[in-house]
A = this chain, B = another copy of it.
Amino acid sequence: MARAAGVDPALVLHFFGSKDGLFEAALELPLDPAGVVAGLLQGSRDDLGERVVRTFLGVWDAAPAQGPMLALLRSAVSHPDSADRLRALLLRAILLPLAVGAGGTEPDRRAALVASQVAGLALTRYVLRIEPVASAAPEELARAIGPTLQRYLTDDVG
């Protein structure tokens, strides 16, 4: 399962350990972080924000009932240890490589701002299920939220 999904079990084990079922949840993530980031950084920089939204929604929507991602989020909200691990994985495997690749100043700040929008998109769409975001087509959300991520990754952010 982990191999088929492209996740490196050693990476997951390093960040999540084997307790709380987190390891099992993370192994089911339909996510190959390095491949995802490389894919996002291909193509025009002008569309980067929209591509991030499309890809993020594709990963969540592909998981059965968003089970693995919701398990990670639930664990992070309830256990500081899990929050530490999820933060480390998100930053090191996805957000920092993305922000560095986008080429802007202060990549750590940009990565944190991107986190603030994509984490909230997940919470709004899959947990709180606030309409019309909960059932909007990915393409519509890419148009609405893509410019936010574009600014956080490549433009002036105060």
Residues 71-123 (chain A) with a chain B CB within 8 angstroms: 73-74, 76-78, 83, 86-87, 90-91, 108-109, 111-113, 115-123
Comparing A17-25, A30-38, A127-135, the segment that makes contact with chain B is A127-135
Q: State the copy count for this chain.
A: 2
Total interface residues in chain A, CB < 8 Å: 45
Chain B CB within 10 A, most for which of A132, A145, A147, A148: A148
- The answer on a CB contact under 8 Å between B124 and A119 is yes
Flag whether A144 is at the interface (Cβ < 8 A): yes
Residues in B whose Cβ lies below 8 Å from that of A143: 157-158
- The answer on a CB contact under 8 Å between B112 and A132 is yes
Interface residues of A (CB under 8 A from B): 70, 73-74, 76-78, 83, 86-87, 90-91, 108-109, 111-113, 115-125, 127-134, 140, 143-145, 147-148, 151-152, 157-158
